[in-house]
Amino acid sequence: MAEDENKQLITRDYLAIERTRLANERTFLAYFRTAVVFLSAGFAVVQLEALEEIHLVGWFLLCLSPVILAVGGVRLVQVRRQIRKYYNE
Would you list the domain boundaries of the chain? 2-88
Cβ-contact 58, 43 below 8 angstroms:
yes
Could you give the dihedral angle defined by the CA atoms of residues 82, 83, 86 and 89, in that order, rounded to the nearest 10 degrees?
A: -110
Q: Taking 90 as the threshold, does the pLDDT of residue 4 lie above it?
A: no
Distance between CA atoms of residues 70 and 57, nearest Å: 20
Mean of per-residue pLDDT scores for the chain: 90
What does the alpha-carbon distance between residue 61 and residue 33 come to, in Å, rounded to a whole number? Answer: 14
pLDDT at 41 over 90: yes
Q: pLDDT tens digit string along 15-40?
A: 888 999 999 999 999 999 999 999 99
